Amino acid sequence: MAREGLTARGVGKSFGAFEALGGVDVHAPEGKLTCLLGPSGCGKTTLLRILAGLEQPDRGEVALGGRSLTGVPASKRRFGFVFQSYALFPHMTAAGNIAYGLKGNMPRREIGARVDELLKLVRLEGVRDRYPAQLSGGQQQRVALARALALQPEVLLLDEPLSALDAKVRVMLREELCQLQEKLGITTVMVTHDQEEALTMADEIVVMNGGKVMQAGTPTDIYDRPADPFVAAFIGAVNFLPEWVGSASPDSRLAIRPEHVRIARADDIFDAARRELAAGAAERQPGGRRTAGCLLLAGRVEQAQFRGSSWRISVLLPHPSGGAEPALIHADLPAHEAAGLRLERGALLDLALPENRLLSYPSEACR
Amino acid sequence: MTAPPSGSSPLQPAAASGKPPIRGTVLAQGSSLILLLALLAAGLVLPLLFMFRQAFLSPDGSYAGLRYFRAYLESPALLNSLRHTVCISVMTTVIAVPLAFLLAYALARSAIRGKALFKAIALLPLFAPTMMHGIGLTYLFGNQGFVTTGLFGLLPFELRIPLYGPVGIIISEVVYTFPQAFLILSAALSVSDYRLYEAAETMGAGRARQLLTVTLPSVKYALAGAVTVCFSLSFTDFGAPKVVGGSYNVLATDIFKQVVGQQNMALGAVVSLVLCVPAVLAFIVDRVVSRKQQAYVTSRSTAYRIRPGRLRDAAAYIYACLAALAIAALLAAVVLASLIKVWPYNLTLTLSHFNFADAAAGGMAPFWNSVRMSLLTAVIGTAAAFMAAYLIERISLWRGLRQAAYFLSVLPLALPGMVIGLAYIFFFNHPGNPLHALYGTMAILVLSGVMHFFSVPFMTASASLKMTDKEFETASLSMNAGWLRTFLRITVPLSLPAILEMAVYFFVQAMVTVSAVIFLYGPQLKLASIAVVSMDDAGDTDMAAAMSVLILGMNVAVRLGYEALSCRLRRRTVAWRGH
C-alpha cells in the first residue's frame, strides 16, 4: 500500500554484536513534523541516518510516497539534513555554506538570489559573509537550517537540532522552527531526547527504546494514554501504585501521573467522596475504596516541596495490615489548591485518584 | 610575580611553615632558569653572533664591511650553486609532497591491510643517514648498478640514467624528505571531521567535490608545512650531494669547501647566512601553521569512517606497495651491497666489509663513538628540553626571561646543521674563549647535537605538559611536598611517554647527522656518519654501505626497543590513564 510521506518498514541495523534497530516501522506523514523520541542509545539517530541514506540498513526498506529508496545514496536523495551541532564548513562563510548544495544544480547567477532568499527566511540577512566561528550558536543553527533547505528538499531531517543551544535560545528557535515547518509544509523528521521539545513541537511522536518503537501517536495520545510503563515514565512523571492498591486483577498494576492525583477535601468537587470517606473511616480497606469515579486512599504527608506554581507532595500509604512496605505517591497540586492544607510531615491526607486518569499495565511490564 | 601556592593551603599558616619552602622554591626555579639560559646562550646565541660577525671580518680580523657579500654575489661559481640548490629544492618539493600526500591519503582513507607495515617502511629513511640513500642509488642506478646493467645482465637491455648530478641528488632528497612530509600530512588527515563529509553528501556533492571542498581545505596548513619542510631540508642537506652530486655543487657542499678546503671563513659565513633563509621562512610558516591547524577540529567532530570501496582500496594498495617497494629496494640494495664481496662481479656473501680494518676510518671506533655521542645527546638533550619546557610552561617567575627562553628553544628549527657546525667553529675555536678546551672533544659534539635537535623534543614536552593538569602539581605542593619532589614524583611520571619519545628522537637524529659534526669532530673522535662520508670519498663504497647499515640497524633496534617499552608502559599504566 502506497502511503504519502516517509515510511520505514521493518528496518533493522546492527553494529557488530550490538543491535541498534530491531526491525522498526515508522511513518512520517506528509507535511507534518514527526519526532523520534527516546533515551540516548535507543536507535533514533541511527534510524534518522538510515532515512537520510547516510547509513545502510541490514534489512527493511525506506520509502517516500510509496517509492522505495533502497540503493539511492544520500547524495541523490535530496533530503535536507541538519546535523547535531551543525557541521558547518569552517572555511566557508554563511553564504558559502548555504550555496554549497546549489552549485551545479542552478545557474550561477541565480545562486546569489536564492542564498539571499534563504538568509531572509531564517532571518540572518546581516551575517551573510561571516564564518561559522564568528556566529553565535543560534545563528549557526539557522545557517545549518537554511543550508538544508536550499535545494527545496521533499524531506527535512533534523538530528537533535536544538541540543547544543542554551535554554533561552532553544525555546525561541523551537517556535521559529515550528513556524517555518508549517509555512513550508515540508515533511520533517526530528530526533530528540527532550520530551518537552517533542510534546511542544511534534504533530506525531514516535517513542523508541532499545532499538524498538514503543508507541507512535499524537502528543496528547502519548501523554494521556502511554501504551506501556516505559513510555509513561519517559514522558512526564508517573506513580506506579503498589500491587495491593485498587487492582482488579493480581496480574496488573495501576499507575497515575502526579498532576492527576487530587487531594480530597470538603469544599471541592470530591465532596461526596470525602464525606463517604469520613463516614466509613473505621472500615478503610486495603487498596482503597472506589466511589464517585475515584479511587480513595488515605496516607500521611512525608514531604512537601514548593515549586512556585505548584506543590509536590509526597504521601506515604501504609499497608493496611502492615504486611508490606509502605508506598510513596507523589501528587502535584496547583499552589492555589494547596493553600490551607496542612502539609507538615505526618499530617493525615486523603488522596482521590480519578478513575479515568488511572493507567493499568501488566505487572511484569512494571518491573 | 607570585610564587607557586605552596603556602596557600588553608590548613597551613603561611607565616609559620609556609615561608621557607617558597623561598627555596623560587631559588631552585630561578637558578634552573638561569642555568637553562646559560646553556642556550653558550650553545646557540653566542656561536650565532660570532658567525654573524665573521661574515664582516677579513682574515686578519679587521672590519671588512660587505666585502664578502659582494664577493659572493660576484662569484659565478657560488651563484651557480645557489641556482642549483634552489632547483634541487623546488624539484624535491614538487615530487615529494604529492607522493607523500598520496601515501598518507591511501593509508588514512582506505581499508587496506598492513597499514602499520607500510607506515613503518615509509618512515624507515628517517633512521638512515642521507648518504645511505645516495649509496643505495649508486648500487641501483650507478655505473655498475643493479638496474643500470639490466638486473646484472638478466635483461637484454641496459637502463642508464644520469645519476651523478641533479637527478641523483633529487631522488635522494625525495627519499629523505618523503617521511617528514608523510608524517605531517598523516597527522592532518587523521583528524578531519567526518560530519563535514556527510553534510556535503546530503547536499549532493560527489567524491571529487568532497575531496576539493572538504579534504584539501582541512589539510591546507599541513600541506604548507610539508612544502616548507621539504624545501628547507633539501636546501640544506649535505650528505646526499656529497655522495651522488658529482661536480654538481650546492650550497651545503660549498660551505664545506670554503671552510675546510680553502679556509675562507668569511665567505663560509656568508654562505651559511644564505643557507638559513628558507629554514627561517619554514620556521615562520610552521609557527603560523601550528597555531591555525588546531582550530579546524572541535570536540564535536566525529572520526572519519572508511566506507567500503573495492576499487579505491585496490588503487591504495597498489600505490602503498609501490612506495614501500621503492624505499625498501633502495635500503635493501645497501644492505645487500654490504654483504656482497665485489658488487657486481663476485656476488658471494661475506662479512668482511664490516671489518673496517683497512678503511680510512679505523675499525669500529667511529661506530661506538657515535653510539656514545648519541646516548649522551639523548640523556642530556632530553633532560634539558624537558626542563626547558617545564620552566617555560609551569613556573611564574620572570615572564620576559621565560619568553626569551621559549624563542631560543624553538629557534634551532630555523638553523641548518651546517650553520650550527660553522658557528661552533667560530665561537669555540676562538683563542680568547674560555670554553676553547671543549673544541675537538666529545662535549662539543654532544652540545651541538643537543642544540641542533632541541626544538622538536622541546615541543613534545610542552605539549605533554599542556595536556597534564596543573592541578596535580598544585595538589602535591599543597600537601607540603617540595618543588623538586613534586617535579620528580608527579610531573616526570605523568610525562614519561613523552620523555621516552624525546630521548629516542635525540638518539636517532644524533646517529644519522653529519652536517654539524663534520666541522667539529676531533682526530681521535671520528663518528660513524663521518666515516661513511670519508670511506665513500676514498672509494670504499662497500664499507660505507656497511657502516650505513650499522647505523640504520642501531636506530631501528633502539626504535623497536622504545616501541616495546612504551607498549609495556601503556599496559601498566592503562588503569590510571583510562584508555
Which tens digits make up the pLDDT trace of B487-528?
777 788 888 888 999 999 999 999 999 888 888 888 788 888
pLDDT one-digit tens code per residue, B356-408: 766 555 778 888 989 999 999 999 999 999 989 888 887 777 778 888 888 88
pLDDT at A268: 47
Does the pLDDT value for residue A272 go beyond 60? no
pLDDT at A188: 95
Residue B71 half-sphere exposure toward CB, CA atoms < 13 A: 18
Q: Which of A305, A295, A221, A312 is nearest to A258 (CA)?
A: A312
Chain B residues interacting with chain A (CB cutoff of 8 angstroms): 193, 195-196, 198-206, 209, 213-214, 217-218, 295-296, 300
Does the pLDDT value for residue B344 go beyond 90? no
pLDDT at B381: 94
Radius of gyration over every alpha carbon of chain B, rounded to an integer in angstroms: 26
pLDDT confidence of A267, banded at 50, 70, 90? very low
- B385 or A4, which is more confident: B385
What does the pLDDT average to over A136-164?
Answer: 90
The cell for B46 is 653566542
- How many other C-beta atoms can be found within 10 angstroms of the C-beta atom of residue A271? 13
Residues 6+ apart with CB under 8 A from A247: A253, A254, A287
* Contact criterion met (CB < 8 Å) for B202 and A164: no
* Contact criterion met (CB < 8 Å) for B203 and A151: yes
What does the pLDDT average to over A230-253?
Answer: 82
Does the pLDDT value for residue B465 go beyond 60? yes
Radius of gyration over every alpha carbon of chain A, rounded to an integer in angstroms: 26
* Contact criterion met (CB < 8 Å) for A75 and B296: no
- Spacing of C-alpha B525 from chain mean position: 23
Does the pLDDT value for residue B17 go beyond 70? no
Pairing status of strand A187-192 against strand A33-37: parallel
pLDDT confidence of B576, banded at 50, 70, 90? low
* Contact criterion met (CB < 8 Å) for B199 and A75: no
How much is the pTM?
A: 0.79
Q: Which of B515, B389, B556 is nearest to B33 (CA)?
A: B389
Structural element, H or E, at residue A333: strand A327-334
Q: Give the whole-angstrom CA distance, residue B386 versus residue B459.
A: 9
- A250 or A238, which is more confident: A238
Residue A140 Cα, gap to closest chain B Cα (Å):
14
Longest dimension (CA), chain A: 87
Does the pLDDT value for residue A341 go beyond 90? no
- Select the residue of B200, B202, B217 nearest A52 (Cβ to Cβ): B202
Whole-number Cα distances in Å, B303 to A17, B208, B216: 21, 20, 17
Least confident of A160-169, B95-104, B340-349, B504-513: B340-349
Between B455-467 and B496-512, two packed helices, what is the crossing angle to 10 degrees? 170
List, edge to edge, every strand of the sheet that includes A204-209: A80-82, A155-159, A187-192, A33-37, A204-209, A212-217
Residue B132 Cα, gap to closest chain A Cα (Å):
42
pLDDT at B4: 43
- How many other C-beta atoms can be found within 10 angstroms of the C-beta atom of residue B326? 15
Residue A12 Cα, gap to closest chain B Cα (Å):
19
Does the pLDDT value for residue B9 go beyond 50? no
Residue B390 half-sphere exposure toward CB, CA atoms < 13 A: 24
What does the pLDDT average to over B349-355?
Answer: 77
Average pLDDT, chain A: 85
Kindly report the backbone phi and psi dihedral angles of residue B11, in degrees, each rounded to the nearest multiple of 5, phi listed first. Answer: -80, -5
What does the pLDDT average to over B222-232?
Answer: 87
pLDDT at A274: 53
* Contact criterion met (CB < 8 Å) for B205 and A87: no
pLDDT one-digit tens code per residue, B553-563: 999 999 999 98
The answer to whether A76 contacts chain B (CB < 8 Å) is: yes
For residue B308, give the chain A residue with the closest CA: A56
pLDDT confidence of A269, banded at 50, 70, 90? very low
pLDDT at A287: 58
Q: If DSSP codes are grouped into helix, strand and coil, which group holds residue B301?
A: coil
pLDDT at B324: 94
Q: Is the dihedral of CA A312, A314, A315, A319 positive or negative?
A: positive
Q: If DSSP codes are grouped into helix, strand and coil, which group holds residue B329?
A: helix
Residue B204 Cα, gap to closest chain A Cα (Å):
4
Least confident of A132-136, A319-323, B75-79, B187-191: A319-323
H helices present in B355-454, as ranges: 365-394, 399-410, 417-428, 442-452
pLDDT at B374: 95
Average pLDDT, chain B: 82
pLDDT at B159: 72
For residue A90, give the chain B residue with the closest CA: B296
What does the pLDDT average to over A309-331?
Answer: 82
The answer to whether A101 contacts chain B (CB < 8 Å) is: yes
What does the pLDDT average to over B160-172?
Answer: 87
pLDDT at A146: 93
Residue whose C-alpha cell reads 664499507 in the numeric block? B543
Does the pLDDT value for residue A244 go beyond 80? no
pLDDT at A72: 87
- B421 or B11, which is more confident: B421
**How high is the ipTM of this complex?**
0.75
Residues 6+ apart with CB under 8 A from A168: none
- B577 or A208, which is more confident: A208
- Under 8 Å CB pairs connecting chains A and B tally to 61
pLDDT one-digit tens code per residue, B322-339: 999 999 999 998 998 888
Cβ–Cβ < 8 Å for A155, A79: yes
Residues 6+ apart with CB under 8 A from A308: A335
- A20 or B149, which is more confident: A20
Identify any residues that bridge with A7 across adjacent strands, giving them in sequence order: A27, A63
Least confident of A126-135, A295-304, B141-150: B141-150
Cβ–Cβ < 8 Å for B230, B177: yes
Q: Give the whole-angstrom CA distance, residue A116 versus residue B444.
A: 67
pLDDT at B320: 94
Q: Which of B203, B236, B187 is nearest to B85 (CA)?
A: B236
Q: Give the whole-angstrom CA distance, residue B234 versus residue B240.
A: 9
Q: Give the whole-angstrom CA distance, residue B446 versus residue B384.
A: 12
pLDDT confidence of B8, banded at 50, 70, 90? very low
Identify any residues that bridge with A296 across adjacent strands, giving them in sequence order: A289, A352
H helices present in B237-309, as ranges: 239-244, 251-256, 265-293
* Contact criterion met (CB < 8 Å) for A164 and B213: no
pLDDT confidence of A167, banded at 50, 70, 90? confident
pLDDT at B20: 47
What does the pLDDT average to over B18-29?
Answer: 62
Q: Is the dihedral of CA A264, A266, A267, A272 positive or negative?
A: positive
How many degrees, rounded to 5, is the angle at CA A230 between CA A229 and CA A231? 95
Chain A residues touching B198 at Cβ < 8 A: 54, 74, 81, 83, 87
- Select the residue of A75, A85, A147 nearest B205 (Cβ to Cβ): A75
